[in-house]
Amino acid sequence: MIRSRGWPTDLDVASLIANGFQPYAFRDFVFKIHQRCNLACDYCYVYTMGDSSWRDRPMAMAPEVVRAAAQRIAEHAETHRLDEVRVILHGGEPLMVGREGLRATVSELRSAIAGGARLRVAIQTNGVLLDERMLDLLGEEGVEVGVSLDGAPADNDRHRRYADGRGSAAAVERALALLSSERYRPNFAGILSAVDPETDPVGTYEALIRYRPPVIDFLLPHANWNRPPARPGPSLTPYGDWLISVFDRWYDAPVRETGIRILDEILNLVLGGASRSEHVGLSPVTVVVVESDGSIEQVDTLRASYPGAGETGLHVATDSFDDALRHPGVVARQLGVRALAAECLSCPIHRLCGAGHYPHRYSFGSGFLNRSVYCDDLSRIIAHVQSRVAIDLERLSVVG
């Protein structure tokens, strides 16, 4: 049930389509294969933001739900002639389904999505259960593995703790040491890390690159206009400042040590390209979520906005993913510049910023038609990248 009014619940999708808007097919399918977690991180959108829908859903995704969802993906890929789709195994903590549960899930996916689009399977885990046996299985099944770690152990353990208060860093560092070893490295997809402006940005970056991740995903904490982010200290833009310090450390290194998704995308946007991230830019978002009971949902970080914000009322047993493509909440995230508030439209960097991550725009009453609650931080980091790139490009000559 949608409990809040405001844009885009009143979006007239039929008229948009009649006027030429064509939905973009989904490419990323997030499967919530386990609803519980073995950690109790204090910033988690699943359990700490007022949405308790996880309590009412099956703990684990049943094999028939996996099968039905996989068949829907195959149908969607065929309809839209997609050459590649990606399923991201997510939770809660997805490794809590156990080795056999994982093997069965991946095998269902591979048999349903065979012969058409190439299937990539990824898992995003807190790393606590990631031991050699689990990594062997993920390697055999060709699953890309991303692990969450918030930097140095003391920084990580400020937020990422077990329910009894113990920090998780020791277990996660063991897992990352394994995953980054030669044996398991081919499956290492990257590290996810939440930005905490009270930590040392360069120290955090350097703690993460010890594992030589192919990519680091720095995420701004879940926040919106009704639940603004913590802004410790005197700066009005602590998140922008933090990202600038990381950018300078990364950009000035003698070699490219890793990718940093948000900064790579800002660089690409500054150079005139389009973003592949839902956190910046105006590219259509092509992500959909399947809950453990088979419900089709919009991106589940919307739960941090208000209870039920991600619901579509659709289910893989009865509805296709094409049905979800016509949901106002899905269309809103594919509209590009047409989904921006007036204040963003008059902003000179709106093509680059794109009003940031959609959930960060939410305000009770007006919904998602607002600038980002991180507006000043985003404009600060984007302006910094713009000026550094401009200086460097001016030095280069055209050779042919």
Partner 1 sequence: MSETTGAPDSAETRGDAVPDVTRIPLSQLEPAENPVLEAAIRRLVDEVTDGREVTAQFGNSP
Smallest gap from Cβ 352 to partner 1, in A, equals: 9
Residue 287 contact among partner 1, ligand SF4, none, beta carbon within 5 to 8 Å by kind = partner 1
Smallest gap from Cβ 130 to ligand SF4, in A, equals: 36
Candidates 25, 129, 215, 349; binder of ligand SF4 (CB under 6 A) is 349
Under rule CB under 6 A, residue 353 binds ligand SF4: yes
CA distance 14 to 395: 50
Under rule CB under 6 A, residue 347 binds ligand SF4: yes
Candidates 343, 364, 387, 393; binder of ligand SF4 (CB under 6 A) is 343
Which H or E element spans position 249?
A: helix 238-251
Sequence-ordered list of residues with C-beta below 8 angstroms from that of 290, at least 6 positions apart, any chain: 29, 30, 31, 32, 61, 65, 69, 296, 297, 316
Under rule CB under 6 A, residue 371 binds ligand SF4: yes
Under rule CB under 6 A, residue 378 binds ligand SF4: yes
DSSP per-residue string spanning 90-143: EES-GGGGHHHHHHHHHHHHHHHT-SSSEEEEEEEE-STT--HHHHHHHHHTTE
Strands 84-91 and 259-260: unpaired
Q: Return the number of the residue (129 or 219) whose C-beta is nearest partner 1.
A: 219
Q: Return the number of the residue (25 or 349) whose C-beta is nearest ligand SF4.
A: 349
Strands 287-290 and 295-297: antiparallel
Under rule CB under 6 A, residue 244 binds ligand SF4: no
Count Cβ atoms below 10 Å from residue 244 Cβ, excluding itself. Answer: 20
Count Cβ atoms below 10 Å from residue 52 Cβ, excluding itself. Answer: 11
Candidates 76, 159, 350, 384; binder of ligand SF4 (CB under 6 A) is 350
Candidates 30, 355, 369, 381; binder of ligand SF4 (CB under 6 A) is 355
What is the phi/psi pair of residue 296, to 5°? -95, 125
Smallest gap from Cβ 254 to partner 1, in A, equals: 7
Residue 267 contact among ligand SF4, partner 1, none, beta carbon within 5 to 8 Å by kind = partner 1
Under rule CB under 6 A, residue 383 binds ligand SF4: no
Smallest gap from Cβ 164 to partner 1, in A, equals: 26
Buried b (16+ CB within 10 A) or exposed e, 74-96: bbbbeebebeebbbbbbbbbbbb
Under rule CB under 6 A, residue 229 binds ligand SF4: no
Q: Return the number of the residue (90 or 315) whose C-beta is nearest partner 1.
A: 90
Q: Return the number of the residue (195 or 353) whose C-beta is nearest ligand SF4.
A: 353
What is the phi/psi pair of residue 231, to 5°? -125, 75
Contact 189, 144 (CB under 8 A): yes
